[in-house]
Structure 1
Amino acid sequence: MTTTISEPILRVAPRPGDINSNGHIFGGWVLSQMDIAGGIVAGRTAKGPTATIAIEAMKFIAPVLLQDIISVYAHVERRGRTSMGIRIEVIADRGRGAAQVKVTEGLFTFVALDDQQRPRPIAWED
């Protein structure tokens, strides 16, 4: 199963406690939202537990602001025997919906886990 990128996996509004001294949302908060969304797609795809093992090509394009609502999009981009690469993009809905700004993207690698928390093969559906 490959998730399409047309529907957001997650929508979240940052809170005042998520803001840094520059008036932007902490990058770590955004990264955690991306990991949550990627984990949802990975778990559905693997039909079981998964773990994040790598983040590749992560880049912040624009800051997330306190009044933004972020939408996190994710889809399987790369398939392996026990792992998958999931492309994750974050779009901020800014100015009460007046604009949409791509704020970050990255490629996260997840591995499927068995009952002993060891890598297990993924039964890919086409």
Structure 2
Amino acid sequence: MDQQPKKKMRESLTIKTSHVAPPDTNHHGNLFGGKLMSDIDDAASIAAGRFARKPVVTVSTDSVDFFKPIRIGDAVTLEAIVTWSGRTSMEVFVKVVSEHLLTGEKSIAAFSFLTFVALDENGRPTPVPKAVPESEEEHWLNKTAETRAAHRQARKKESKKLADFFSNIQL
């Protein structure tokens, strides 16, 4: 019987820090949500690729929860880690932290969960290692992933119904 190889979650850890510059902000001086979402997808894809050591694609952005605006001139740090893996898919958690560089004040600005699939040389889903948690936080993220996966599956079914409904309707 072929057993799924294992890999420690921390081996996927990806940390990216950048300045928030004027072109990245809206008329309120806050980082554009879409820009942050792009950065989240980028960091998450690196984490998933590190974990799988194969090409990966985003299957879904399960959630992006914004807690605090990120202001122009702040530093923004994204920490991404694979929290769970199925046969070919991986859930990635991204924590976004803003830092006021003059005061050193840090705040959690956003959380996000995304799902990625690893691909083989023909562009088809291919197996990934089993995610192994070590720290208390990793165990919590890994354990609670099953609930999030169930929500994802239910949402996917609803989205499929919507796609079928709207396939012949033009708004």
Separation in 1 of the partners of 2:87 and 2:78?
Answer: 26
What amino acid is the match of 2:100?
Answer: R
Unaligned runs of at least 5 residues, structure 1: none
What is the aligned partner in structure 2 of residue 72 from structure 1? 78
Q: Structure 1 residues 125, 38: closer, same or farther in 2, change over 3 A?
A: closer
What amino acid is the match of 2:35?
Answer: W
Greater relative CO, 1 or 2 (CA 8 Å, sep 6+): 1
Residue from 91, 102, 113 that aligns with 2:108: 102
The answer to whether 1:59 aligns with 2:57 is: no
The answer to whether 1:116 aligns with 2:119 is: no
Runs of 4+ in 1 over 4 A off after TM superposition: none
Q: Give TM-score, length-normalised by structure 2.
A: 0.67
What is the aligned partner in structure 2 of residue 33 from structure 1? 39
Pairs aligned (count): 125
Give SS of 2:50's match: helix
Cα shift readout 1:52-86 (whole Å, capped 9, x = no counterpart): 11111321101111111011111111211001101
Give SS of 1:115's match: coil
Bigger mean CA offset, 15-24 vs 116-125: 116-125
Unaligned runs of at least 5 residues, structure 2: 1-6, 133-171
Alignment root-mean-square deviation, CA:
1.9
Cα shift readout 1:3-29 (whole Å, capped 9, x = no counterpart): 279x76111112211111122110011
Q: Percent identity?
A: 30
